[in-house]
Amino acid sequence: MEPEDLAERVALLETQVAWLLQRQQAAAPGPQAQAAALTPSHPLPGPAVRPAAPRKELSPVVWIAGIAASIFLLGAIFFFRWAIEQGWVGAELRFVFGLLVGGAITAFAAKLILGDSRHLGVALLLAGLGTLQFTFRAGAWQYHFYAAPLGLAATALVTLLAGALASRGRSSGALTVALVSGLAAPLVFSQGGHHEVALAVYLAVLMAATLTVPYIAGTGGTWHGPRWAALIGVWLLLLSACADVLKADAPLLSALLILHLLLAGLWAWLPGTREVPGTATVLWLVASILATSYGWLLWKRQDLGVEAYALLVIAVAALNLALIHPLRRRMGGRRADWGLLALAAGHLALAVPVALAWRWVGPLWGAFALGLAGASLKADDSAFSEEATALRWLAAAMALLTTLRWAFHGLDGFYSHGSAPAPFLNAAFAEGALASAAWFLLAQRGGPLGLISFLALEVTANVTLALEVARLVQWFQRPTHLGYGPSRAASIAMTLVWALSGAWQWMRGLGQQEEVRRVLMIPGYAWMGVASFKLVASDLDRADTPLRALAFLGVGGIGMAAAILANRRRTGATS
């Protein structure tokens, strides 16, 4: 560049800067002009309100397409069945026809998924992938065109194709559809007989192919649909296999069960991937509980010692304890600690009744539910709301199982001539007390589950306490009372317990805020009403005069004492 050109450019820049400075000084207003400028001649528009994002609702077209795809898939199944029975069309033609129809529908659905009609494409994909999977399975198991491993490879290929569509279309629906059709195939083509090992192998291949998708696509940790579909579907089918397996096949199926537990753990935690998986703790909890339960079925099928199974339960507990440290690095925190600790404690506690007495399995379920409920509260406090909610529902399921078992065993000892269990030192009371404690923790967070938990707490706690007080009264009466059912005095003791519980809750509700007052006083009225009704309808007929006097004096005295104390509290608050 010449020096003259450079000097000319510098001069031009200086001229432009000077012009800009002069313009800025001329545009700067004085104080009065600034005040006038601050007073708008027209009202300023308010802040722009951004409309809420419209909810993405499935259009009727998608619903109709999904229903039609399901109907088409059922039609394809019935067609294959009918064609096989009639023998009018050769197996080769049926096989080719299934490939062509399934491939055409799958290709069209893939075009929609990768375009602007993702939901419609997923709905149609059910018919396409389902037809392909049924055709591949029929070619191996019904038509015997190729060996069973090739049929398994074809099923895995279809699953990988669905995973590729899911990752490209940013939708997990395609993989869910492939899983649903793959899990339905064994049910459709079931021919009876004992094929439990073959079913377990097929399910393992399906799970392994599904597990390959997040590692290839680099995503899948937040795909709740396919992850839960794989876990629930596979383990439901494994239940039938473990329940019906022959004794000779039980050892091999036990090894396959361990393989399925490993695959479930990999699908839950997704180690080695970048994306942190969601609901991983709960997926692993469900898989561990089901694996332990199914293992017990296989253990009994092999006629092995019951007490020795406690060693396997302890091994599962040790596995969960060993997973705590590596999963802290995987999850980037302690979000999985409480769930794993609760699971390990539950398995360690389960080993005790397995080794000693099976009647204590109910209390251990209750301890497990209590541990999960406490873990959900800890997870909620640590801001992992997703894990906390899932843990809470799992704790509710375990508490429900414990409550149902308690409902069937709560009256043990009242209807037998043999030795009755000691009051407050029996399995029925432990089940009721632990279930009540779990329901109490679950009721702390409110919401629909909190309301259900509170109602379950009211029933379980009050009935458990009343039964044990009645058991205590009857225990002191032995051997004078040798009949079936609670004695008259024991029945009246139950009435007094319910009256006392109702009065106590009613008193606690006084002086509280409106919502808390209603929550406490309504069950208080209910239990006092139950006690009064039982007193008139049952206790009055069954008791003699001294017991009638005791019952009426007790219930009436409790009511009067509650009223007097409530009046004192009210007058003390107003003075």
* Residue pLDDT, tens place only, 334-392: 778 777 877 887 777 677 666 666 666 777 778 878 887 887 777 766 555 666 777 78
Q: What pLDDT is attached to residue 50? A: 41
The answer to whether residues 453 and 443 touch, using CB atoms and an 8 Å cutoff, is: yes
Phi, psi (5° rounding) for residue 404? -65, -40
Among 92-96, 151-155, 225-229, 443-447, the range with the most confident prediction by mean pLDDT is: 225-229
Phi, psi (5° rounding) for residue 245? -65, 145
Residue type, 33: A
Q: What pLDDT is attached to residue 331? A: 84
Strands (E), 42-119: none
Please state, in angstroms and rounded to a whole number, the distance separating the CA atoms of residues 249 and 201: 13
Strands (E), 107-250: none
Q: Collect all residues with Cβ–Cβ distance below 8 Å to 261 and sequence separation of at least 6.
A: 287, 288, 291
Tokens of 516: 């808390």
* Alpha-carbon separation of residue 281 from 190, 209, 268, 276, 319 (angstroms): 34, 22, 7, 12, 14
**pTM confidence score:** 0.58
* Alpha-carbon separation of residue 314 from 308, 309, 321, 480, 520 (angstroms): 10, 9, 11, 45, 42
Among 34-38, 52-56, 428-432, the range with the most confident prediction by mean pLDDT is: 428-432
Please state, in angstroms and rounded to a whole number, the distance separating the CA atoms of residues 276 and 80: 43
Among 54-68, 252-266, 425-439, 525-539, the range with the most confident prediction by mean pLDDT is: 252-266
Using a 10 angstrom Cβ sphere, with 0-12 exposed, 13-18 middle and 19 or more buried, the burial of residue 532 is middle
Summarize the confidence of residues 309-318 as an average pLDDT.
Answer: 84
Q: How confident is the model at residue 39 (pLDDT cuts 50, 70, 90)?
A: very low
The answer to whether residues 297 and 240 touch, using CB atoms and an 8 Å cutoff, is: no
Q: How confident is the model at residue 36 (pLDDT cuts 50, 70, 90)?
A: very low
The answer to whether residues 335 and 379 touch, using CB atoms and an 8 Å cutoff, is: yes
What 3-state DSSP class applies to 403?
A: helix
pLDDT tops 70 at residue 29: no
Residue type, 163: G
pLDDT tops 80 at residue 399: yes
Q: What pLDDT is attached to residue 35? A: 43
Residues listed for the chain:
575
The answer to whether residues 171 and 221 touch, using CB atoms and an 8 Å cutoff, is: no
Summarize the confidence of residues 542-569 as an average pLDDT.
Answer: 63
What 3-state DSSP class applies to 206?
A: helix
Q: What pLDDT is attached to residue 116? A: 72
Using a 10 angstrom Cβ sphere, with 0-12 exposed, 13-18 middle and 19 or more buried, the burial of residue 11 is exposed
The answer to whether residues 260 and 291 touch, using CB atoms and an 8 Å cutoff, is: yes
The torsion angle over the Cα atoms of residues 285, 289, 292 and 293, rounded to 10 degrees, is -160
Of 108, 129, 121, the residue nearest 66 (C-alpha): 121
User: In this predicted model, what pLDDT tens digit does every residue of 233-289 receive, in sequence order?
Assistant: 999 999 989 988 998 999 999 999 999 999 999 999 888 888 888 888 888 988 998
Instruction: Kindly report the number of other CB atoms within 10 A of residue 258's CB atom.
Output: 11
Q: How confident is the model at residue 49 (pLDDT cuts 50, 70, 90)?
A: very low
Residue pointed to by tokens 């219930």: 555
